Copies of this chain bind each other. A is one copy, B any other.
Amino acid sequence: MTVPPALQSPGAGRAASAPLLGHEAEPTIFELSAPGRRAWSFRNTGVHEWAAEELVPAEHLALEPVALPEVSERDLVAHASRLSHRNYSVDLGAYPLGSCTMKYNPKMCDAVAAMPGLVGCHPAQPESQIQGWLALMHGLTEALCEVTGMAAATLQPAAGAAGELTGLLLMRAWHQSQGNPRTKVLIPDSAHGTNPASVTLGGYEAVTVPSNAQGLVDLAALRDLLDDEVAGLMLTNPNTLGLFEREITEIAAALHEVGGLLYYDGANLNAILGVVRPGDMGFDIVHMNLHKTFATPHGGGGPGAGPVAVTERLAPFLPGPLVRHDDEAETYRWFTPAQSIGRMHLWHGNAMVLARAYSYILGYGGPGLRRVADAAVLNARYLKERVRGSYDFPFDDPCMHEFVASAARIRRETGVKALDLAKRFIEEGFHPPTMYFPLIVDEALMVEPTETESPQTVEAIAQALLRIAEEAATDPEAATAAPRTTVVSRVDEARAARDLKVRWRAED
- Taking Cβ atoms with an 8 Å cutoff, the residues of A that contact B are 1, 3, 6-24, 32, 34, 37, 72-75, 77-78, 81-82, 85-89, 91-94, 104, 106-107, 385-386, 426-430, 452-461, 463-464, 485-487
Contact = CB atoms under 8 A, between A and B. Distances in A.
A20 to B, nearest CB: 5
B460 A93 contact: no
11 contacts: A6-B455, A13-B93, A13-B430, A16-B427, A18-B88, A20-B88, A20-B487, A21-B486, A22-B429, A73-B107, A77-B107
A452 B72 contact: yes
Q: How many copies does the complex hold?
A: 2
B428 A13 contact: no
Nearest to A22: B485
Given A9-B460, A13-B458, A21-B486, 13 more contacts: A1-B385, A7-B458, A14-B94, A14-B429, A14-B457, A15-B94, A16-B429, A17-B429, A20-B87, A21-B429, A23-B485, A74-B454, A75-B457
B106 A73 contact: yes
B15 A88 contact: yes
Contacts of A73: 104, 106-107
A92 B88 contact: no
Secondary structure at chain A's binding surface: helix, strand, loop or mixed? Answer: loop
B459 A7 contact: yes
A6 B382 CA distance: 14
A456 B79 CA distance: 14
A485 B78 CA distance: 19
Contacts of A87: 20
What 8 A-B pairs have minimum CB-CB distances, sorted nearest first?
A13-B457, A15-B93, A16-B429, A14-B429, A12-B456, A74-B104, A9-B456, A19-B19
A454 B33 CA distance: 10
Nearest to A386: B3
Contacts of A454: 12-13, 34, 37, 72, 74-75
A14 B455 CA distance: 13
Contacts of A85: 19-20, 85, 92
A107 B458 CA distance: 38
A105 to B, nearest CB: 9
Contacts of A74: 104, 452-454
Nearest to A382: B7
B91 A81 contact: yes
A461 B3 CA distance: 13
Contacts of A78: 91-93
Given A37-B454, A74-B104, A104-B74, A14 B460 contact: yes
B88 A460 contact: no
A7 to B, nearest CB: 4
A208 to B, nearest CB: 38
Contacts of A9: 456, 459-460
A92 B77 CA distance: 8
Contact of A77 (B8, B13, B104): B104
A244 to B, nearest CB: 23
Nearest to A95: B15
A452 B269 CA distance: 49
B485 A13 contact: no
Given A85-B92, A92-B85, A104-B74, A461 B19 contact: no
Contacts of A458: 7, 13
A37 B22 CA distance: 37
A104 to B, nearest CB: 4
A74 to B, nearest CB: 4
Nearest to A106: B73
A371 to B, nearest CB: 13
Nearest to A459: B7
A460 B12 contact: yes
A15 B429 contact: yes
Contacts of A93: 13-15, 18, 21, 78, 82
Contact of A88 (B21, B91, B464): B21
Nearest to A41: B363
A87 B487 CA distance: 17
A460 B11 contact: yes
A194 B72 CA distance: 35
A23 to B, nearest CB: 8
A17 B34 CA distance: 36
Contacts of A92: 15, 18, 20-21, 78, 81-82, 85
A428 B81 contact: no
Contacts of A94: 13-15
A329 B102 CA distance: 59
A497 to B, nearest CB: 26
